[in-house]
Structure 1
Amino acid sequence: MAKMSTSEQLRAVIYTRISEDPRGLEAGVSRQLEDCRKLAVDRGWELAGEYSDNDISALQGKARPGYDELMAAASRGQFDRIVAYGLSRLWRNRKERAEAIDALSRTRISVALVKGSDLDLTSAAGRMYAGILGEFDTAESEIKAERVSRAAQARAEAGKANGRCPYGWKRVYQRDEQGRVLDWRDEVDPVSAEVVRSIVQDLLAGITLRAVTTRLNEMEIPSPGGGRWIPSSVRKLALRDLNIGLRRHRDTTYPGAWEPIVDEADHMKVKTLLGDPRRRTQRAAARTHLLTFGIGRCGVCGGVLAVSKKGPAGRKTSLYVCKEHGCVGRREEWVDGLVVATVCERLSRADAAAIFHADDAALAQEQSKVVALRSQLDEAADMYASGTIDREMLERITARVKPMLEAAERLARPAIPMPDAVQHLIDSHDSRAVWEELSISQRRAVLECLGVQVILKPARGGPGFKPESVELMWEPRRPT
């Protein structure tokens, strides 16, 4: 906040702003501040305060804490004059400028500019002049924004990535004799591309996002930002359409000018997997048991199962129990053994793969349609680039083909992808041996893919395990 003085001199405050300062050096603000201080001293004004905003644009009406403090102090009559480097440092947004001119005129505060004339906002002529000058500033910003937007559109149409080189590739620059950049292309970086592929393969194998994240951090592989990995960044990396060579700009998809690093079928599977609303999101650390978190249910009240330790000290036994009311309880080792034996036996049969059979012909037809529709968009883009068709015709073709492509992509994508672990169990001559090699998250993924529900019913007939008191129900999640 500004510090006020009791002096009778004209009280001035300084406002500085720079819209872009990616390195956080504040050099632009410092230079403005130095020039504004000199103007105030030369005019003989008392400096009553300084306000600034760094790396904040004024065009889009973004929050400017320094500016908000300035206007609050103005409403309290704490100064008589605002000193700024240029009018564009104060305002570029039309609405904000009009409101400020009106507010400052009521408090009889005017503006002095290092680069420009003084603006007497107490007079109609001064307010008009400030509004006209401000319109030039706003127009300049809007024209610049249009140029930036058009350049981004051109990069998208050329299939080039926006901003820095995406993780998985490395940027190669083409320079002239003076070393100036003429063009660039993104080539596959073998090391980081393999990290992306490993993430996709782990997820398709049934390994959880948190487990994948833990693996990457334990291997001390730097994240794209250089720090530690977090599950959200792993998820974002796995879902990027960049991975299969597609460039999205606003609502349009363009073929990328870079080499894909993930198989398109695997990409569709992982997008479906991570987008499944039935996907459980509990912490991986909590998934240390096969039938907790909803796979196992109480046969009395329908509640979920939890694990409880029962018995004397040193000889406690793990039991699955009804989490809500304790209606049922059964030794974890016995129930898991029955479930595993049943699942492995079913997946070892010759017809195991038939459990998951879908209409492959229909799926293949939709996948072919996706390829054909993308080819139409590519051909239209080439015709526009060569001048054969104009922009209006390109937009008409895109508007017609795009909804058809989106519909075909939905139908060409399996609703629930089969984890790789399931396929390994089906293909193996010893499904039990393969099962023993799976992590707990992979084993749970197999049960979820099979739609397994394990119901513990009250046991009758004395101590010991009663297999008939455990009911297994399953409904494999077939692709649609």
Structure 2
Amino acid sequence: MSDTKSAVGYTRLSQTSDASIPDQKREIRNLADREGFALLNIYDDGQRSSGFDAERPEYLEMQAELETGEVDVLVVRDRDRLSRDKRERSMFYYDLDEWDVELWTTTDGRVEFTDDESWLIEMIRNYMDDVTKRREIQKAKKKVQERVDNGYWQGRPPFGFRLDSDKRYLEPDPGKFDTALTVLQMRENGATWSEIEDETGVSAGTISRILDNEERYLSHVE
């Protein structure tokens, strides 16, 4: 019987400040090679994957495999890749203990659940990570609202527009803005969406958004 431990990895990326998915996977593979684990799979929920969402598809699929008892080790870059929510992460730790699955991180090595003290330390860490991240989110939301209140455009500019040099106001984007005006004019003349799409090359979804925001486009016509 082989003594080699089987392992799976897990990655996700919530924002640009996180380690990239390729970097996370590389670190997981390196740890598995170093420790002699047989890496079976790396589950990946990709980019813009919130750690407060417990319904991530790959995260759930990973849990289902771990529960089978056929995997010995779970490897992640850091604990917060699993979850940012203190309750979810704490319950997942209890599941790992019940399934007899070791948790390893590429930053700290093996996460120990060997005694009451180690459990307490991990529970406190879960709480602190949760509180810290929620405060960051609230601060970011407040900053966004302040920009909106001060007249800054927030988010991706609509089709046909771009942000001015101060990154504050919308201004017409040459070429695309004229295309948006063509969409409005054709619709006013009775053209069907299919005809507009064929003539302008603009998708049906974009046509809909242009028509819904007709006043914004006309307000920039000299």
Q: How does 1:47-446 map to 2 (within 5 A)?
A: 47-61=39-53, 63-116=55-108, 118-121=110-113, 123-174=115-166, 183-189=167-173, 191-200=175-184, 203=187, 207=190, 211-219=191-199, 221-223=200-202, 229-230=203-204, 232-240=205-213, 243=216, 260-261=219-220
Unaligned runs of 5+ in 1: 1-5, 22-26, 175-182, 224-228, 245-258, 263-480
How far apart are the structure 2 equivalents of 1:128 and 1:141? 20
Contact 1:108 1:121 in 2 (8 A): no
SS of the residue 2:84 aligns to: coil
- TM-fit CA distance, 1:76: 1.0
How far apart are the structure 2 equivalents of 1:242 and 1:19? 35
Higher relative contact order (CA 8 A, sep 6+): 2
Tell me which residue corresponds to 2:30: 38
After superposition, what is the alpha-carbon deviation per residue over 1:346-388, rounded to whole angstroms, capped at 9, x for unaligned? Answer: xxxxxxxxxxxxxxxxxxxxxxxxxxxxxxxxxxxxxxxxxxx
Contact 2:28 2:106 in 1 (8 A): yes
- TM-fit CA distance, 1:204: 5.3
Report the TM-score when normalising by structure 2. Answer: 0.80
- TM-fit CA distance, 1:100: 0.8
Contact 1:243 1:261 in 2 (8 A): yes
Distance 1:71 1:125, change over 3 A: farther
- TM-fit CA distance, 1:11: 3.2
- TM-fit CA distance, 1:140: 3.2
Contact 2:52 2:83 in 1 (8 A): no
Distance 1:62 1:56, change over 3 A: farther
Tell me which residue corresponds to 1:363: none
SS of the residue 1:126 aligns to: helix
- Give the partner amino acid of 2:77: Y
Aligned-residue CA RMSD (Å) = 3.0
Q: Percent identity?
A: 21
Larger-Rg structure: 1
- Give the partner amino acid of 1:215: E
Report the TM-score when normalising by structure 1. Answer: 0.40
Distance 1:197 1:46, change over 3 A: closer
Unaligned runs of 5+ in 2: none
Distance 1:74 1:189, change over 3 A: closer
1:16 paired residue among 2, 11, 20: 11
How far apart are the structure 1 equivalents of 2:117 and 2:40? 27
- Give the partner amino acid of 2:13: I
How far apart are the structure 2 equivalents of 1:167 and 1:188? 9
SS of the residue 1:162 aligns to: coil
- TM-fit CA distance, 1:8: 2.3
- TM-fit CA distance, 1:7: 2.0
